[in-house]
């Protein structure tokens, strides 16, 4: 089986949500079972993460990021 990509180094020390996101982003390259075992998370936890709605903070961050991107786009146009 292939090696994990370079950007994966250090992910093992991150919170579970970051590890779950990494697994989701690389699921086409590696088996989910293997990545869960390597990342020390359970497949059941991954399934729960997938079905969990975004938190209030995550929704707020998305709105803030959209405003920042819009302001950046507008300022570059003038």
Question: Which tokens hold the place of 46?
Answer: 């991954």
Task: Provide the percentage of residues in the chain whose pLDDT is more than 70.
Answer: 86
Quick one: residue 56, left, alpha or beta (phi over 0 = left, psi -120 to 50 = alpha)? alpha
| pLDDT attached to residue 71 | 92
CA distance 18 to 49: 11
pLDDT at 77 over 70: no
pLDDT, one tens digit per residue, over 3-40 is: 555 555 677 788 888 999 999 999 999 999 999 999 99
Q: Count Cα neighbours of 75 within 13 Å in the Cβ-side half-sphere.
A: 6
Task: Check: CB of residue 40 under 8 Å from CB of residue 20.
Answer: no
Task: Check: CB of residue 22 under 8 Å from CB of residue 39.
Answer: yes
């Amino acid at each position: 089986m292939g090696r994990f990509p370079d950007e994966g180094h250090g992910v093992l020390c991150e919170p579970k949500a970051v590890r779950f996101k990494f697994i989701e982003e690389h699921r086409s390259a590696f088996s989910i079972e293997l990545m869960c075992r390597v990342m020390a998370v359970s497949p059941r936890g991954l399934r729960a993460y997938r079905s969990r709605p975004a938190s209030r903070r995550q929704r707020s961050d998305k709105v803030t990021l959209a405003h920042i991107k819009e302001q950046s786009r507008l300022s570059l146009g003038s």
